[in-house]
Chains A and B, each alone.
Chain A
Amino acid sequence: MKSDQLILNNHQSSPADLAKSKKKKMNGRMMAYYLMVIPAALLFFAFHTFPAIQGIYYSFTNWNGINLDYDFVGFKNYINLFKDTAVRDSYLFTFKFAIFAGVLVNIISLAVAIGLNAKIKGRNFFRAVYFLPNILSVLIVGFIFNFVFTSIIPNLGEKYQIEFLTENILGNANLAWIGILIVFIWQSCAFNIILYLSGLQTVPHELYEASSLDGANRWQQFWKITFPVIAPFFTINMVLAMKNALMVFDQIVAMTGGGPGTVTTSISYLIYTGGLAGGEFAFQSANGVIYFIVIMAISVFQLKVLQKREMDM
């Protein structure tokens, strides 16, 4: 709203008659712009902001999700949150997962994108193949990989006498998270590759030519030219990959159900199961509020740090 007023004010300062006709035109156009943005904003408010505010409201009550009445309990849920080991464990797991996922997704995506950007044969075919996972449903991919880990890999292990493959890693408390990580990376790379590809296409060819005249090798070209030029893409990819990993949910539903025990219970999975099936709606709402703040803080921090790095390069 503020910026709109600013624009209007600017026009008032120009010569009067000109301003009038311009204003009329402007308002007509503004109307169209408003029509473009308002429906989406309303939808966003109705289905996102409003429930979020409701969640904050419930986080100060003791509602179990189904009772007709509830009381206000102040900050009790928030205090219990910091005492609860299940909540602490889910944060530890989620952060470990997000750090590994964020770093690996970016390394792999960038490597694949460089390959797909080169003049290889069947380039468009490979691009299509690498983009494919992005259009598949996460849940279905999860179920398919669940089957692969449960049946196909152990059977192969038995057949070829490879000891470490004969066990389902999703059932192993120490390794289950790696199974989820593999599926997560496989699927989220697709989108990050596309972003990196578009970034790589912005690198001017002349820079490579000039640098090769100066005797720079491929490795130097990558670090001194490619990487600095695509720095903004690195920033957005890092933030997106981290954020998605912090919110990991579907893969866990499909593959481990948070188990074995609770070792792969991510924060969002804990909020869902504890809040709905576990009858702790208000408590998990409080968890959701904290979780929202944490993700926002991490994203802002990443943007700040990485954007500063973009400047330095």
Chain B
Amino acid sequence: MKKTVSLLAASVLSISLLAGCGSGDNAGGADNGKVKIEFFHYKREAMDTFDKLIEKFEKENPNIDIEQASPPDAGTVIKTRVSKGDVPDIISIGGDMGYNELSKAGVFTDLSKDKVLEKVQPAYIQMLKDITGQEKIYGVPFAANAVGVIYNKAIFNELGLEVPKTWDEFVALSETIQKAGKVPFYHTYKDAWTLLPSFNALAANTQGADFYEQLNKGKVLAEKRYKEAVEKMVVLSKYGHKNQQGVAYNDGNTAFANGESAMYLQGIWAIPEIIKANPDIELGVFPFPATNNPEEIKVISGVDLLYALSAKSEHPKEAKKFIEFMLQDENAKQYIEEQNAFSALMGIAQDNPTVADLKVMMENGAVTDFPDHYIPTGVYPDKTLQTLAQDKDVDSALEKIQKDWEKVQSRK
């Protein structure tokens, strides 16, 4: 009997030791009178900017302690944390399928009737509604991104080139650059996701206005409607460089910064990285000439960063206070200046001359969301496009996207 007791004691001890490591730091409770708020976001590039803003906030609110967390692969991390019930107070992600899934899982507080949304441009609120297919809003859109064609002004001047307005001009321009012995595009196909910005720009302008409407009815039209976009992807892949299958995003930023190609097909989020690699580069961004009808071309812009509140936060008031602080004009302005992003709020302009062309279009409302924000996460169009860039087999790529999409839908 005695032995069994001591045996049990030993085992209980070893278990409680383990339990000790698990709890403790995630409670987010108040120690020494301060309220601890965890601010989880997926923008690792912006950690320095957030550090500065958090410092300012904590000075104004000495009783609140904001803890910034931005792990690599944040999209996966947040899902694993949610699945074990450990949700950060503030969650900052993009307006994409991840947002859709977390909203539907009931992770966020419903902000539909909150007055924080009054500052936000209606177009971005509408985007969040479109993504979830619901009227409810679970996040405050804060920053917007955009996809264009980043170009090296020095090379354009040297070859006497002009910014193209239509798809045909775009292809002719690429041909000219290639004939001059230069690389038109620095493709970075080793990272599958880097194919998505161009695909988004092409698909959004060619998939047809009723694509999402049909999708909400359960009809997947990828195979027919993506045809033009996929064909144009193949054309673009022919104006790359020799080792384009083997180069990744970071190397691409450096290579473009060092003048190894005339153009770079990326979102504006790459610009700070490019400038970091070569501060002297003269670059500009022109809208992606996806079709031959320049009047109808739209810029792809989505909600790059939104603030969502955990439905289970122990300190919702303090968390909200931080969100309100971030939305103040001065602070929002600091963010978009340092991150070279567009603001989702009203009255805050991005004055950086490199993105002037995009700005005009965005102010005119010629904006549409990223099509891949509507593709279910299990479809992986990026991987199919990566194969396409190598095989150039349009039909099998279309078939694969269609089949994967149907497969994922049928399993839900």
Contact = CB atoms under 8 A, between A and B. Distances in A.
A12 B128 CA distance: 76
Interface in B171-211: 189-192
The 7 closest A-B pairs by CB, nearest first: A168-B246, A171-B246, A171-B245, A261-B387, A278-B378, A66-B105, A67-B105
B246 A154 contact: yes
Interface in A222-245: none
Contacts of A249: none
B386 A259 contact: yes
A64 B103 CA distance: 13
Interface of A: 27, 31, 34-35, 38-39, 42-43, 46, 62, 64-68, 80, 84, 86, 149-151, 154, 166-173, 256-263, 274, 276-281, 283
Interface string B1-33: 001001100110011001000000000000000
Given A35-B10, A258-B383, A166 B243 contact: yes
Contacts of A68: 105-106
A110 B384 CA distance: 41
A167 B105 contact: no
Interface stretch (B51-59, B77-85, B294-302): B77-85
Contacts of B69: none
A255 to B, nearest CB: 10
Nearest to B407: A84
A259 B385 CA distance: 11
16 contacts: A35-B7, A38-B14, A46-B15, A68-B105, A68-B106, A84-B407, A86-B404, A149-B246, A167-B245, A168-B243, A170-B190, A173-B387, A256-B190, A276-B76, A278-B377, A280-B411
A80 B251 CA distance: 39
Contact of B247 (A65, A171, A274, A278): A171
Best-buried of B190, B192, B387 by chain A (most CB within 10 Å):
B190
B105 A150 contact: no
B242 A167 contact: yes
B7 A65 contact: no
A259 B190 contact: yes
Nearest to A83: B407
Contacts of B105: 64, 66-68
A151 B248 CA distance: 11
B7 A171 contact: no
B240 to A, nearest CB: 12
Given A260-B245, A261-B390, 18 more contacts: A43-B14, A62-B411, A67-B104, A68-B105, A167-B243, A168-B246, A171-B189, A171-B246, A173-B390, A257-B192, A259-B192, A260-B189, A260-B190, A260-B192, A260-B387, A261-B386, A262-B380, A283-B411
A33 B144 CA distance: 63
A46 B378 contact: no
Contacts, number: 127
Given A150-B248, A276-B76, A262 B10 contact: no
Contact of B377 (A150, A154, A169, A279): A279
Nearest to B97: A279
B101 interface: yes
A260 B251 CA distance: 17
Interface of B: 3, 6-7, 10-11, 14-15, 18, 73, 75-76, 79-80, 82-83, 101-102, 104-107, 189-192, 242-248, 251, 376-378, 380, 383-384, 386-387, 390-391, 404, 407-408, 411-412
B386 A260 contact: yes
A233 B175 CA distance: 62
B236 to A, nearest CB: 17
A263 B383 CA distance: 10
Nearest to A63: B83
Nearest to A253: B73
Contacts of B407: 84
A168 B245 contact: yes
Nearest to B83: A65
Contacts of A84: 407
Given A27-B3, A34-B7, A170-B246, A277 B384 contact: no
A168 B187 CA distance: 14
Contact of B82 (A66, A86, A169, A274): A66
Contacts of B80: 65, 276
B411 A80 contact: yes
A280 B246 contact: no
Nearest to A27: B3
A258 B107 CA distance: 30
A43 B18 contact: yes
Contact of A171 (B243, B378, B411): B243
A62 B384 CA distance: 26
Nearest to B75: A277
B3 A31 contact: yes
Contacts of A173: 387, 390-391
A276 B14 contact: no
Contacts of B404: 86
Contact of A39 (B6, B14, B107, B189): B14
A172 B243 CA distance: 10
Contacts of A39: 10-11, 14
Nearest to B192: A259
Nearest to A149: B246
B83 A66 contact: yes
Contacts of B411: 62, 80, 280, 283
